[in-house]
Amino acid sequence: MKVASGLAVCAAAFASEVASEEQTAMGRALYLTHCAACHGNNGEGGTQPVGEQQTRPPDLTKIAQRRSGVWPILEVMSIIDGYTKATRPREGMPVIAALNEGPQVTFDSGNGRSRNVARRLLAVTTYLETIQSPKPDRSVP
């Protein structure tokens, strides 16, 4: 019985890891489609303002570093698409409505509340977390 339950835990962990890898790959593809033109293919920021934008797009690999090692997942979602409607739009940063399209997934931001979010939005946010340099020490909702 213990072996069977141990195998179930390992299988669940493997399935979660595979799902995470798929989500990260999807997030990278979406990033390249919707974000790379301004922030660069590697997320380190554009070399000059794009279009009518007056400021250089920021380095997305340093989001956590700019927040003392904290990965602010809801803030990032909000900047991308107005998810929480609590973050003011950034100059020159468009709301990427296409990331709210498609299937929804249940998401626990770490504050004990589960909610449905667009799978595409979560994928891009997950991808952005993977390119943080240095890696975040912790996450906050």
Q: What percent of the chain lies above the pLDDT cut of 90?
A: 45
**Do the Cβ atoms of 70 and 137 come closer than 8 Å?**
yes
Most confident by average pLDDT, 39-48, 65-74, 82-91: 65-74
pLDDT tens for residues 28-62? 999 999 999 889 999 998 766 566 666 788 899 99
What confidence score (pLDDT) does residue 44 get? 93
What is the three-class DSSP state of 65?
helix
**Do the Cβ atoms of 141 and 117 come closer than 8 Å?**
no
Choose among 111, 81, 110: nearest CA to 93: 81
Mean local confidence (pLDDT), 111-131: 92
Q: What percent of the chain lies above the pLDDT cut of 70?
A: 74
